[in-house]
Amino acid sequence: MAALQNDLAQLIHAQGDQGPFISIFMKVSPYERDIAEDKATFRNLIQQAKKAFITRFTEKEWATYQAKFAPVLQQRALGNNGAASIVVVASQSDTFVYPLAQEVANSAHVGDTVYALPLIANDQFSWDYHLLKVSQDSIALWDVTEGVATPVDLPADAPLTRDQALGTELTTGKARTTRIGLGAGQASHGNDPKEASQASDTQNYFKQVDDYILTNYSKPTQKPLILLAVSENQAVFRKVSKNKYLLQNTQLNKVPAKVDQQAVAQVVSQVNQQLAEEVLAVLQSQVDRARSAKKYISDLGAITQRVSEGNVATLFVAQGAYVAGRIDGEKLDTSSPAAKATNLLNELSVQVLQLGGQVYVLPASELHADATAILRRPATD
């Protein structure tokens, strides 16, 4: 996520210097058999971009962009990395390719700014973290970056299994001898109760796992840690854990029977949904306070005016909404061919981001308008 955020910020602030921008979004397949089909789709989207480009610019200018797409097509596969989609953004000087966790509609956009709305939608509720699967006898770890989970190849000294980690300290099933009295041969032999032994081994194992993950992954990266474990193991691990990066409110108690790439992707989606609900609750509180302070508006004309004044702190855009128009200097153009091919909501979003504001893309059913905004200063000012 950090790489996408940083480069998106760079592209947004570079508009005018590096534009026009071509933004291509497409779904990709996770299967090897679909590599050729994905590339054919990408070629078709390039042609769509060219058709739109030459309505405003020259064939000679297009040649610069055509050359930038060649290295993308030379990649062995466009997908197969756990991503649901990809975006390719080309400017006069740079080309950026990113995996996206969300499925997007195949589309090509040409404009004075990068087409940011699908990127915002993908990134707004996509967190970077470590996902740790724990059972009583083994662990597995994934690095989740920009919504894509990659298995971590843990080294040999990691506590991969309980037997490996505890070794001779393992108590389950071990015989125990207790000497009683002073006389030789006065001893009793028995076994630890099975449940007590198991609980002791589990705690000791989880302590080692916790210390190892904290030392080698959480501290160096400062990424949040999310635990995937059944309820019983969740409780034990959290009791012994000293990892301050372990998220307390995000718990995954249903462990897939088969933990393959598809199952992990579903877990990541579930995590993002839980975290998104927390963020949405905070945003709703902000909206309620803004209404009371007369700093919340939903009229698009008023929003456009306030954006130009730098008075929008947070812009909410309805998912899939399209309003033809472009900002030309200080004027709003809604009639030119370029304006009719431009989504005004994207233009407003880019301006808000340029001025340090926030933008969220939310379901239309939650907004009941193409866009709403929280202002920095009351609307009556």
Q: Are 65 and 46 in contact (CB under 8 A)?
A: no
Confidence grade of residue 6 (pLDDT, cut at 50, 70, 90)? low
Cis peptide before 30 (omega within 30 of 0): no
The mean pLDDT of 302-310, rounded to a whole number, is 94
Q: Is the pLDDT of residue 190 over 70?
A: no
Instruction: Give the C-alpha separation, 35 to 80, whole Å.
Output: 9
Closest alpha carbon to 270 in 98, 118, 101: 101
Question: Tell me, what's the pLDDT at 157?
Answer: 93
The proportion of the chain whose per-residue pLDDT surpasses 70, expressed as a percent, equals 86
Question: In this predicted model, what pLDDT tens digit does every residue of 254-266 receive, in sequence order?
Answer: 998 888 888 998 8
CA distances from 56 to 62, 92, 189, 253, 346 (A): 10, 15, 90, 54, 19
Measured from the Cβ of residue 328, the count of other Cβ atoms closer than 10 Å reads 13
Question: In this predicted model, what pLDDT tens digit does every residue of 93-145 receive, in sequence order?
Answer: 888 888 888 889 999 999 988 999 999 998 888 789 999 999 999 999 999 98
- Domains belonging to the chain, first-starting first, are 1-124 (3.30.960), 129-279 (3.30.420.60), 293-381 (3.30.1330.30)
What torsion, rounded to 10 degrees, do the Cα atoms 334, 23, 61, 328 define? 30
Beta strand pairing call for 187-191 and 225-228: unpaired
What is the biggest distance separating any 2 CA atoms in the chain, rounded to whole angstroms?
105
Token output for 298:
């939903």
Instruction: Give the C-alpha separation, 41 to 86, whole Å.
Output: 12
pTM reported for the whole predicted model: 0.76
Mean pLDDT of the chain: 86
Instruction: Give the C-alpha separation, 316 to 102, whole Å.
Output: 19
Confidence grade of residue 181 (pLDDT, cut at 50, 70, 90)? very low
Confidence grade of residue 188 (pLDDT, cut at 50, 70, 90)? very low
The mean pLDDT of 162-180, rounded to a whole number, is 59
